[in-house]
C-alpha cells in the first residue's frame, strides 16, 4: 500500500492523529487523488467539496498549461474562471515579489479558490497566493519532481538565502499519473535525486536528537527512508524510467515526504546538509550547466559529496575519544568565523549571523554535547554504516539511469562545488 495513503487513513476528522512519538501530528490537506486518469474527477470533487459556481483562479505556466492546465479549464468550463499563465521560458523565478504581484492580480478577481497546475514553483506560488487571500488552494501536479505538493510551506529565492514560508497547504492534491508520465526526463531525475536526502536525514536527525536533544519522530524518520528506498530500488537502467510502477512509487515517496514535513511543521524529515549546500550553489549561481540546474539533481550531487565527507569522519569514530574539558577550551579559543571568511561566502554572512544567534552555543552546551557524543559514538557508527549503504546503492541506481555525479558535468569548478561544505554548520 502507498505510504501517503496509509498516512491519510490514520487522520481523524480534524486532520490529526496521536503519534507514538508522543505528539499529535496534523495536516491541512484533506484529499489526494493519485492514479491514471484521475484528473477527470476534478469537477465532481470540486462540486462535492465546494458546490458549483465557486470562482476559481488558475495558475500555470506555458508548459504546464499544455500538460494539464488547458484540460482543467475544459473540465471546469461551467465555473467562473480567471487566472494567469506564466511564461515557460525562462522558467518563472519563485520570488516573494512575484507571489505578491500574483496575489494582487488574483485579488482583483475575488476568487474563492486557487487551482495551481504545475510542479514545484507553480505549486509554491499558488499556495502563497491562496494564503495571502485567505482562501483554499488545490494543486494539479504535472511532474514527479518535487515534494512541494503536499508540504505546508513555500520556498522563495532571495538574494542571500532561500526563504521558507509557512502557508496553508493545498486542500486537495491531484496526481494524474498519465499527465505526470509526460513530464520531461530531467523532472523524473530531479524527483529521484531529491530522495537521496532522506538517507542523510536518517543519520543527521538521529545524530542531532542524540547529541543535542532535538525532538525526533522515529516514525517520520523511518517512513522517509522507506518511502525513498522503494522507487530507487525499482531503477534498473535507463528504460526503467518509463515504468508505470516507478512513477507511482516515486509520486508516493514525494507525497509522503511532503506530508511528513507538513505534520512536523519543518523541513527536517526531508532535508539536511545536502539541501543547505545545494541552496548555496543555486543562490550564488555557481551551476553553469542550465540543463542540470534542477533542485533534485543538485541535491543528489551534494548528497554524494556529503557521503564522501561523512565516510571519512565516521571511519575515525571508533578511535575518536574526546577529552571534553580540553576540547571545550579549544573551542573557546577559536577565532570568530567571521575572521578570514571565504570571500565567496560573504553574501551569506548575515544569514550565518542570524542562524548562530538562534543556536545554543557556549561552554555549557559544548560540554553537554561532547559528553553525549562520547556516550553515543558506537551507536552512531552503526547507524552510519546503514545510511552509507542506502546512499551508495541509491547513487549507483541513479548513475545507472544516466545521472552524473561529478561537479564538472554541472558546470562547476572543484572550488565552487566545495565552497558551501566548510560552512554548513554555520548555515543551519
Contact 199, 390 (CB under 8 A): yes
Residue bearing cell 535507463: 238
**Cis amide linkage into residue 412, ω under 30° from 0:** no
**Cβ at position 329, least distance to Zn ion in Å:** 39
Terminus-to-terminus CA distance in the chain, angstroms? 35
Contact 111, 57 (CB under 8 A): yes
The stretch near Zn ion (CB under 5 A) out of 166-174, 194-202, 405-413, 415-423 is 194-202
Question: Looking at the DSSP assignment, which residues form a beta bridge with residue 113?
Answer: 56
Burial class (CB in 10 A: 0-12, 13-18, 19+), 166: middle
**Cβ at position 353, least distance to Zn ion in Å:** 25
Whole-angstrom distance, CA of residue 170 vs CA of residue 123: 9
Cβ-based nearer residue to Zn ion, 64 or 153: 153
- Structure-block grid coordinates of residue 176: 494524474
**Cβ at position 131, least distance to Zn ion in Å:** 21
Burial class (CB in 10 A: 0-12, 13-18, 19+), 314: buried
Cβ-based nearer residue to Zn ion, 71 or 295: 295
What's the chain's Rg over C-alpha atoms? 22
Cβ-based nearer residue to Zn ion, 194 or 204: 194
The stretch near Zn ion (CB under 5 A) out of 135-143, 182-190, 192-200, 281-289 is 192-200
Cβ-based nearer residue to Zn ion, 64 or 190: 190
Written in H, E and C, the secondary structure of 361-386 is CCHHHHHHHHHHHHHHHHHHHHHHHH
Torsion of CA 179, 182, 183, 186, to 10 degrees: 150
194 scored as a contact of Zn ion (CB under 5 A): yes
Site for Zn ion in 242-261 (CB under 5 A): none
- Structure-block grid coordinates of residue 341: 571568511
195 scored as a contact of Zn ion (CB under 5 A): no
Q: How many residues does the chain have?
A: 428
**Cβ at position 355, least distance to Zn ion in Å:** 19
Site for Zn ion in 265-284 (CB under 5 A): none
Cβ-based nearer residue to Zn ion, 136 or 152: 152
The stretch near Zn ion (CB under 5 A) out of 156-164, 210-218, 380-388, 391-399 is 210-218
Cβ-based nearer residue to Zn ion, 7 or 138: 7
Whole-angstrom distance, CA of residue 108 vs CA of residue 104: 7
Cβ-based nearer residue to Zn ion, 128 or 369: 128
Q: Which of 217, 307, 395, 398 binds Zn ion (CB under 5 A)?
A: 217
**Secondary structure (3-state) at 58:** strand
Whole-angstrom distance, CA of residue 100 vs CA of residue 98: 5
Cα of 333 vs its chain's centroid, Å: 37
**Cβ at position 183, least distance to Zn ion in Å:** 17
Cβ-based nearer residue to Zn ion, 63 or 277: 277
Binding track over 330-349 against Zn ion, x by CB under 5 A: --------------------
Contact 151, 258 (CB under 8 A): yes
Contact 17, 24 (CB under 8 A): yes
Cβ-based nearer residue to Zn ion, 194 or 252: 194
Cβ-based nearer residue to Zn ion, 23 or 311: 23
**Cβ at position 120, least distance to Zn ion in Å:** 9
Counting residues that bind Zn ion (by CB under 5 A) gives 4
Indicate if the alpha-carbon torsion angle 370, 376, 377, 380 is positive or negative. negative
- Structure-block grid coordinates of residue 159: 538574494
Site for Zn ion in 4-33 (CB under 5 A): 19, 21
**Cβ at position 4, least distance to Zn ion in Å:** 16
**Cβ at position 270, least distance to Zn ion in Å:** 6
Cβ-based nearer residue to Zn ion, 58 or 180: 180
Contact 209, 162 (CB under 8 A): no
Whole-angstrom distance, CA of residue 128 vs CA of residue 120: 12
54 scored as a contact of Zn ion (CB under 5 A): no
**Cβ at position 231, least distance to Zn ion in Å:** 15
The stretch near Zn ion (CB under 5 A) out of 29-37, 214-222, 310-318, 384-392 is 214-222
**Cβ at position 109, least distance to Zn ion in Å:** 32
The stretch near Zn ion (CB under 5 A) out of 4-12, 79-87, 186-194, 408-416 is 186-194
**Cβ at position 217, least distance to Zn ion in Å:** 3
Contacts to Zn ion by CB under 5 A = 19, 21, 194, 217
Amino acid at each position: 500500500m502507498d505510504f501517503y495513503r496509509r498516512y491519510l487513513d490514520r487522520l481523524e476528522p480534524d486532520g490529526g492523529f496521536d503519534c507514538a512519538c508522543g505528539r499529535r501530528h496534523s495536516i491541512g490537506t484533506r484529499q489526494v487523488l493519485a492514479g491514471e486518469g484521475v484528473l477527470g474527477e476534478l469537477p465532481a470533487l470540486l462540486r462535492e467539496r465546494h458546490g458549483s459556481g465557486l470562482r476559481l483562479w488558475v495558475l500555470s505556466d506555458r508548459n504546464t498549461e499544455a500538460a494539464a492546465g488547458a484540460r482543467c479549464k475544459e473540465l471546469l468550463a461551467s465555473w467562473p474562471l480567471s487566472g494567469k499563465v506564466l511564461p515557460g521560458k525562462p522558467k518563472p523565478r519563485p520570488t516573494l515579489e512575484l507571489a505578491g504581484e500574483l496575489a494582487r492580480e488574483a485579488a482583483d478577481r475575488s476568487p474563492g479558490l486557487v487551482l495551481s497546475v504545475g510542479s514545484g514553483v507553480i505549486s509554491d506560488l499558488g499556495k502563497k497566493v491562496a494564503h495571502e487571500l485567505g482562501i483554499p488552494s488545490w494543486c494539479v501536479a504535472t511532474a514527479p519532481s518535487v515534494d512541494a505538493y503536499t508540504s505546508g510551506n513555500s520556498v522563495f529565492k532571495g538574494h542571500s538565502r532561500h526563504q521558507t514560508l509557512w502557508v496553508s497547504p493545498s486542500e486537495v492534491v491531484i496526481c494524474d499519473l498519465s499527465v505526470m508520465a509526460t513530464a520531461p526526463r530531467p523532472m523524473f531525475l530531479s524527483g529521484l535525486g531529491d530522495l537521496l536526502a532522506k538517507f542523510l536525514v536518517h543519520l543527521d536527525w538521529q545524530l542531532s536528537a542524540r547529541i543535542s536533544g532535538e525532538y525526533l519522530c522515529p516514525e517520520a524518520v523511518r517512513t522517509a527512508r522507506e518511502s525513498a528506498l522503494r522507487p530507487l530500488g525499482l531503477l534498473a537502467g535507463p528504460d526503467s524510467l518509463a515504468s508505470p510502477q516507478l512513477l507511482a512509487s516515486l509520486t508516493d515517496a514525494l507525497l509522503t515526504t511532503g506530508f511528513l514535513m507538513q505534520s512536523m511543521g519543518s523541513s527536517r524529515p526531508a532535508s539536511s546538509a545536502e539541501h543547505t549546500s545545494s541552496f548555496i550553489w543555486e543562490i550564488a549561481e555557481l551551476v553553469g550547466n542550465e540543463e542540470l540546474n534542477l533542485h533534485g539533481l543538485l541535491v543528489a550531487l551534494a548528497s554524494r559529496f556529503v557521503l564522501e565527507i561523512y565516510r571519512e569522519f565516521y571511519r575515525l569514530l571508533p578511535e575518536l575519544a574526546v577529552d571534553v574539558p580540553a576540547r571545550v577550551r579549544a573551542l573557546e579559543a577559536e577565532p570568530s568565523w567571521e575572521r578570514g571568511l571565504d570571500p565567496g561566502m560573504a553574501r551569506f554572512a548575515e544569514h550565518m549571523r542570524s542562524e548562530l544567534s538562534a543556536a545554543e552555543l557556549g561552554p555549557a552546551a559544548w560540554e553537554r554535547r561532547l559528553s553525549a557524543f562520547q556516550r553515543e559514538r558506537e551507536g552512531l557508527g552503526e547507524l552510519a554504516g546503514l545510511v552509507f549503504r542506502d546512499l551508495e546503492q541509491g547513487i549507483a541506481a541513479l548513475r545507472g539511469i544516466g545521472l552524473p555525479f561529478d561537479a564538472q558535468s554541472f558546470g562547476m569548478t572543484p572550488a565552487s562545488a566545495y565552497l558551501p561544505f566548510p560552512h554548513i554548520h554555520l548555515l543551519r
